[in-house]
Amino acid sequence: MDVLSDVITAMRIGRARSLRVEHHGPFAGRLPTTVPGAGFHVVLQGTCWLVPRHGAPVPLESGDVAFLRHGSEFGIADHPSTPMADAPVPTLVGASIKHEHTRTALAGNSRHAEATPTVMLCGAYLLDESRPHPLLQELPELIHLPARQGHRPELRSAIELLNSELKQPREGSDAVVRALLDMLLLYILRTWHDAESNHHKAAGWAAALRDPATASALQAIHADPSRQWTVGELAAHAGVSRAALARRFTTLLGRPPLSYLTWWRMTIAARLLRESDAPLATVASSVGYTSEFAFANAFKRAHGTAPGRYRRQP
């Protein structure tokens, strides 16, 4: 499995939610932080402003994509000067499980009801914030992908398909929407990482995934996390010396290869404990531990609690 897909799979919890929203007349709604995770807003028609609690408002035009990594409090408005009201949570962050055509007027005026609306796709992803993966953690608070900066056909196609399914739900739409939301998340992150990687000052994960040796070692770890890797084996897999791999890996990702391997194993183990009824011995084996006792000690060092107690937590 490639690293980005692997990270998303490990971090995702619950179910992504989405809505198609129409704003009529003057509108302004502030959405509080209600869920751990990330959200997106795509402008299908018209224009609006993204108004963060702190910082300058960001204008959004038709075709623009705004991705908010940390679920920070923000507002959506027709203009930054429009008085902001608290918006009902299900309307914009996708708390409703129904994917339906929704009309809303936030702080609106009924005499503007016939005006051309601003139409948006909005969605939310639940992510496990207890041990956020550094690949996602280093994302900026706001990723703004203007439509005018490149066509990005894959991203545009996913948006168009999602819009179609939400506008006119049919048999099978529930499954289609879930798949499209996963696609959209990956396309947004891929687009941002590609742009960062092409920047001459790229650092962190954007640079690591473009560095042949570091990326090769990461792929090996993610493809077989239960293997008893050594730095020498990872270096041979990457085609560089042990010293070169250790230096490049640590410089770009902030920790040595085997330290990352242990961290990733504990992340996988937490997901398995949360999502399955597999015995502890099976979980331990799947992340490279032949001893259930050794696994329990490593898990407690990483998560601050024993595996069994972790599994029983809500």
Structural domain span for residue 232: 211-312
Q: Do 60 and 161 fall into the same domain? A: yes
**Taking the model in full, what pTM does it have?**
0.78
> Which distant-in-sequence residues (6+ apart) come within 8 Å of 106 by Cβ?
23, 27, 28, 29, 76, 85, 87, 91
Q: What is the pLDDT of residues 219-230, one digit of tens each?
A: 999 999 999 999
Residue 233: give its domain's CATH number.
Answer: 1.10.10.60
Residue 24 pLDDT exceeds 50? yes
The pLDDT, as a whole number, for residue 123 is 87
Residue 33 pLDDT exceeds 70? no
Task: Provide the H-helix boundaries in the chain.
Answer: 3-11, 89-93, 134-137, 153-167, 173-197, 204-208, 212-223, 231-238, 242-253, 257-275, 280-286, 292-303, 307-312
Q: Do 33 and 161 fall into the same domain? A: yes
Q: Is 162 left (phi over 0), alpha (psi -120 to 50) or beta?
A: alpha
Question: Within a domain: residue 204?
Answer: no
Q: How sure is the predictor about 311, in pLDDT bands with cuts at 50, 70 and 90?
A: very high
* Mean pLDDT within 210-227: 94
Mean of the per-residue pLDDT values of the chain = 83
The total of structural domains in the chain comes to 2
Q: Do 112 and 224 fall into the same domain? A: no
Question: Within a domain: residue 206?
Answer: no
Question: Within a domain: residue 203?
Answer: no
What's the one-letter identity of residue 39?
Answer: G
